Structure 1
Amino acid sequence: MTADRITHIATAIVAVTGVLWGIYWLPVRAMVGLGLPGGWGTVLATTAAALVVAPPALMRWRQLRRADPVALAAIALGGAAFTLYSIGLVYGRVAIIILLYFLTPVWSVLIGRYLMGWHTPALRIVAIGIGIAGLLVMLSAGGEAPLPQGVGEWLALVAGVLWSLATTGIRARSDLGAVPATFVFALGATAAGLALAPVFDPWPAEALAASPVRLGALALACGILWWGLSLAALMWATVRLDPARVGILMQTEVVVGAVTAALLAGEHLHPLEIAGGALVVSAGLLEVWPVRRRRTGPA
């Protein structure tokens, strides 16, 4: 297979992944509608993903054994971040939850600069300013103080920070393959879900007894498609593409999520929320925009 063909396939995978995660709120809320409140639907989905990915991942047990513990912790933390994001979709408006989560470029730049000591180009500083401005505009649209409103928005904001920490650790320390990484990711997501779900609602025994087949099928489909196949494919694709292209393609999640929520759930945004969201998306694009490296020696 030629390099161009691999690039085209990887590009298509990232674009489709963005679309898939843009409609991820649909199965999450469908499980709520069937009687799984709060984070319990996420727990079932991530457990299904871990069980499905376990056999091929354990066949690569040597990779897991040799993996850097910090890298494993970072991957598991990434799964926990996705769980917070998933639960946030239950308690908040879809577009706002996605946009709060997509502030990750701002946190990533700050973490890279102040925790890792990485060089921060001027364009990244501009991205931080635009991202924070977008956050303040978006959160003050209703006339309140520019703070997240409700548990869903707080979960999304914290999820973005955790995801930035996770990706920094993965970038710095991980060389794990896509399949075992997806398995560790699903385990981290499940552990976070089991810790958080009881905080919001008790175990929904009656709902599971009333419609076990429908709930099981939906959780399995969600776990396999979103938490299993799409994440494994994304991990395969991202190492074969320029980070700027990945970042731009993943912005489809914001657009698809906002449009589907407006059409299917009647969730419309205030003009200031749209303006703030546009700034957040712009910050994300600037963060992945190619920059000229500083010259460190003779040409």
Structure 2
Amino acid sequence: MARPTNTSLAVAGLLFNALVWGICWWPFKHLEAMGLHPLWATALVYGFVTLAIGLHLWRSGRLLSWRAHPGLWWLLLASGLTNVGFNWAVTVGDVVRVVLLFYLMPAWSVLVAWLMLGDKPRPMALLRLLMALAGLVIVLKTPETPWPVPESLADVLALLSGFTFAVTNALLLKLKDSPSASRTLAMFGGGAVMATAAALVGLATGVVSTGAYPDWAWLPFVALLCVSFLLGNLALQYGAARLAAHTTALVMLSEVLFASVSSVILGASQWDSRTLWGGALILLAALLSVVGPSQHD
């Protein structure tokens, strides 16, 4: 039997990462049902992973100073907010709706690239932006929903996390010459720091409760998330380093499929015609952003 090519393994790595993010809602929802708020859960999971990565880099002598790359602090902030918003949203909201709103990210990327990188959008990019925003309105606006929308905390979190994810991608492009180990530590460290900060602010304002006392029953789900996120990140780095950027983005859209199928089967979401039509526009805009970009932009 022929051995898989590097391309096949790279695609498999990206699919695994998409699977991790597409079904991570399940352990987060279980932890919330046991009294652990998603912000505290995110802080716990990312804290453990950050500690493991930091110790490994320190022992191997690769824990480099960030003085030469101050942009890593912005990466920590943007990546941390992305994880906080997405993990919180998929825990408290309709999973399919949250993932669709999160995947407005390619639309936000048009604006972020314009503001941060000076990359003025071309006509096709503006068309994708309008298409994605039209899909957003269809998904969010119901006859019972007064303007302005969104209508729930989950909607707001999903939109904000999609925007900060676009900022994260722009920062990764600007920081491409920084050590990859430092970028990885910044992204996981951001999840731990920002989740802890958000949880403490939420606790002070009454938005977040202290929850239940630590329980050994949390351990399997926390361990599952730690291992899954770490392996998913490694798989993403392996795949993204061996495939064209537009191919990586295209494969990563499979996260929508994984999230949709798993959440519908397990009763965490339900489809309706409005979500289908709006979601189709959002996904079409995302597909156009990665299929033949040189021809379209």
Same fold (TM over 0.5): yes
Distance 1:133 1:60, change over 3 A: farther
- Taking the aligned partners of 2:18 and 2:38, their CA distance within structure 1 comes to 24
1:238 aligns with 2:240: yes
In structure 1, the residue matched to 2:209 is: 202
- Equivalent position of 2:45 in the other structure: 45
Q: Please tell me the residue identity of whatever aligns with 1:132.
A: L
Q: Is the 8 A contact 1:29 1:90 kept in 2?
A: yes
CA RMSD of aligned residues (A): 2.2
Supply the distance in 1 between the matched residues of 2:165 and 2:21 (Cα, whole angstroms).
15
- Single out whichever of 283-292 and 155-164 deviates more from structure 2: 283-292
2: CA distance between counterparts of 1:146 and 1:245?
Answer: 36
SS of residue in 2 equivalent to 1:12: helix
SS in 2 for 1:245: helix
Distance 1:61 1:170, change over 3 A: same
**1:52 and 1:224 in contact (8 A); partners too:** no
| CA distance in 2: counterparts of 1:98 and 1:27, whole angstroms | 16
Residues of 1 paired with 2:254 and 2:32: CA distance? Answer: 25
Residues in 2 aligned to 1:218 and 1:157: alpha-carbon distance in whole angstroms: 26
Q: 1: distance between equivalents of 2:180 and 2:219? A: 26
1: CA distance between counterparts of 2:279 and 2:152?
Answer: 18
In structure 2, the CA distance between the partners of 1:266 and 1:108, relative to structure 1 (3 Å rule), is closer
Instruction: Confirm or deny: 8 A CA contact 1:80 1:191 kept in the other structure.
Output: no
What is the number of equivalent residue pairs in this alignment? 286
Where 1:240 maps in the other structure, the secondary structure is coil
Residue-by-residue CA offset, 1:136-161 (whole Å, 9 max, x unaligned): 11101354236122111101111111
Cα pair 1:76 1:186 within 8 Å, conserved: no
Give the whole-Å Cα distance in 1 for the aligned partners of 2:149 and 2:183. 34
Alpha-carbon distance in structure 1 between the residues aligned to 2:130 and 2:154: 24
Aligned match of 2:226 in 223, 226, 250? 223
Would the alpha carbon gap of residues 10 and 142 (structure 1) be closer, same or farther in structure 2, given more than 3 Å must change? farther
State how far apart, in whole Å, the 2-side matches of 1:97 and 1:270 are: 14
C-alpha distance 132-216 of structure 1, shift in aligned 2 (>3 A): same
Residue in structure 2 matched with residue 297 of structure 1 by the alignment = none
CA-to-aligned-CA distance 1:93-131 (integer Å, 9 cap, x gap): 101111111111011111112432214333222211110
> Aligned pair in 2 of structure 1 residues 293, 138: CA closer, same or farther (>3 Å)?
closer
Tell me by how many angstroms 1:72 deviates.
4.2
Q: Report % sequence identity.
A: 22
| Equivalent position of 1:260 in the other structure | 262
Tell me the TM-score normalized by structure 1.
Answer: 0.88
Contact 2:246 2:291 in 1 (8 A): yes
SS of 1:207's equivalent? coil
SS at match of 2:293: coil
Q: Which SS does the other structure have where 1:61 is aligned?
A: coil
Q: Secondary structure at the match of 2:5?
A: helix
Alpha-carbon offset, residue 62 of structure 1: 5.1
Deviation at 1:243, TM superposition (A): 1.5
Report if aligned partners of 2:86, 2:158 keep a CA contact under 8 Å in 1: yes
Q: Displacement of 1:207 after TM fit?
A: 3.1
- How far the C-alpha of 1:249 sits from its partner, in A, is 0.8
Question: Does the CA-based 8 Å contact 1:48-1:219 persist in structure 2?
Answer: no
Q: 1:203 to 1:234 in 2, by over 3 A?
A: same
Deviations 1:208-267 (A, max 9, x none): 1xx2x22133212212212x2211321232132111111111111111111211110252
Structure 2 counterpart of 1:10:
10
**2:119, 2:283 → 1: CA distance?**
23
Cα pair distance change 1:175/1:221, threshold 3 Å: farther
Q: TM-score scaled by structure 2?
A: 0.88
1:82 Cα deviation (Å)? 1.5
CA 60–125 in structure 1, closer or farther in 2 if over 3 Å, else same: farther
Provide closer, same or farther for how the CA distance between residues 293 and 259 of structure 1 changes in structure 2, counting only shifts above 3 A.
Answer: closer
* Counterparts of residues 1-299 of structure 1 (less than 5 Å): 5-58=5-58, 59-61=60-62, 63-65=64-66, 67-144=68-145, 145=147, 147-198=149-200, 199=202, 200-204=207-211, 206-208=212-214, 211=215, 213-226=216-229, 228-292=230-294
Contact 1:137 1:146 in 2 (8 A): no
